[in-house]
Structure 1
């Protein structure tokens, strides 16, 4: 099947990937001010349709815990997750930071804490300002015009709507009869087509597509971060041109590492974010879905609204469909 034959002409106009040019940012068909790309396919009708089919008797949590020592992306010197207490019950008796009586501090046990982490830590979504080409990001927004002293003023996760959609799981590891795909295994078009056929699925416009590599079976060992099996550009184009609104996986980077591209160290990130207008979900916990063989489900997820950030934690959930 040719890539141009995935969807009809009317649907193509809604799929940003059909406007993509290699290593060039894509202008959105949804307007010059568009910051959410394929998430524009979410509307009142699509939300109502998926909620109406949802069986709430069982809920699958697709997120991982945040904890000191957790695996993460540290390849560019970004800080690991840290948490520290800012108030403890005994400490307040000694320090009395609230300026109250000792009797009050002994009665009221006050605990508080702070965290520090890279915004791409744990289960999270990547936004369009995360990667681009030649000083531009999706829809032609430029670093020159849109980065201030602290953050981008465009395409941050605060702009993303809560995601209510049909989700599908492609269990690529199971298709190969292994627990975990080999290191750096590239997931391309053939893998995706074979998995869809094996599981009796089709990718429909508006879907969230999740790929299981089995990498979560290595979690929380740091081996989780090394030479990840993952999506290659061919596979990303195949899924994007079917109309996926978000693509995610159970690995560190969604895509195969190290990159097989001579110049582009993250070819799938740049393609999906800058060319296809498709957000990315990383480090999704998919093992329970795989055990249950729940390959089609209702997907619900919302970003923490970190204004202007390039990524933010998400706690996605899945529920069976009636």
Structure 2
């Protein structure tokens, strides 16, 4: 015990209790957002940044998690599992444009510029059983991903590990949804969302408030999204 620290003697310090923590984790652990530098295509990330000029010794100097602003906008739940009347979509089910349009029509909603759609597959109902939550995920087809970005969305999210369907349906690209959203369209991706309570409560339109940890140059960061209901399904 230190006898004297800034004039505080041992007789005082013995009454002080302290706890502290150190966290070591992959930046894509749990609910998190993918930064625009997470995936590239044809040798460059979004906005044409190339590693030769923009990849430092530890991180990218462009497109990192610290560049993602706080998200405060309208969120829209696209409950595809609910649309199909199943607890969870089958493994590797590719969500189509028609599925998205039908889900929106059923909810009486239309996507607007700046919205963040959250796609529910039902996978999170099995959490924390990783054998059922992860692997061969149902998710967006590339056509569905491209359709969503034509709606000028601000970000995209889903309740599984990669937003898109897996394995890839395209032999020339193992994650075509990632390269489209991140490298081509500049749309950050939120993965491993828990959408079960929103679906259970019939919340399909909500105010979304979310912000990633500002990890400089990181390819992703943990995020805690909050949803405040604007309208529930009757």
Distance 2:14 2:169 in 1: 61
Does the 8 Å contact 1:135/1:144 carry over to 2? no
Note the C-alpha offset of 1:158.
1.0
1:309 aligns with 2:206: no
Structure 2 counterpart of 1:119, from 19, 27, 45: 27
Does the 8 Å contact 1:164/1:301 carry over to 2? yes
Structure 1 counterpart of 2:126, from 215, 218, 235: 218
- CA offsets 1:201-235 (integer angstroms, 9 cap, x no match): 11111101100001101111112111111111111
Note the C-alpha offset of 1:101.
6.4
1:192 aligns with 2:100: yes
- CA offsets 1:273-312 (integer angstroms, 9 cap, x no match): 0111111011111111101111011111111100000000
Aligned position for 1:318 = 227
1:109 aligns with 2:17: yes
Aligned residues: 227
Distance 1:125 1:208 in 2: 13
Aligned position for 1:33 = none
Distance 2:10 2:168 in 1: 60
Distance 1:187 1:106 in 2: 61
Aligned position for 1:43 = none
Distance 2:14 2:120 in 1: 50
Aligned position for 1:154 = 62
- CA offsets 1:163-203 (integer angstroms, 9 cap, x no match): 11111001000000001111111112111111111111111
Q: Map residues 125-144 of structure 1 onto 2, 5 A cutoff.
A: 125-144=33-52
Aligned position for 2:82 = 174
SS of 1:153's equivalent in the other structure is coil
SS of 1:305's equivalent in the other structure is coil
Change (3 A) 1:238 1:110: same
Structure 2 counterpart of 1:293, from 202, 211, 214: 202
SS of 2:21's equivalent in the other structure is strand
Q: Map residues 225-264 of structure 1 onto 2, 5 A cutoff.
A: 225-264=134-173
Note the C-alpha offset of 1:103.
4.4
Change (3 A) 1:101 1:232: farther
Note the C-alpha offset of 1:257.
1.1
Note the C-alpha offset of 1:105.
4.8
Higher strand share: 2
Note the C-alpha offset of 1:157.
1.5
Note the C-alpha offset of 1:134.
2.6
SS of 2:22's equivalent in the other structure is strand
Structure 2 counterpart of 1:279, from 171, 188, 192: 188
Alignment TM-score, normalising by the size of structure 2: 0.92
Alignment TM-score, normalising by the size of structure 1: 0.68
Moved >4 Å (runs of 4+): 98-105
Note the C-alpha offset of 1:135.
2.0
Aligned position for 2:71 = 163
Q: CA RMSD in A?
A: 1.7
Q: Which runs of 5+ in 1 are unaligned?
A: 1-92
Distance 2:38 2:189 in 1: 10
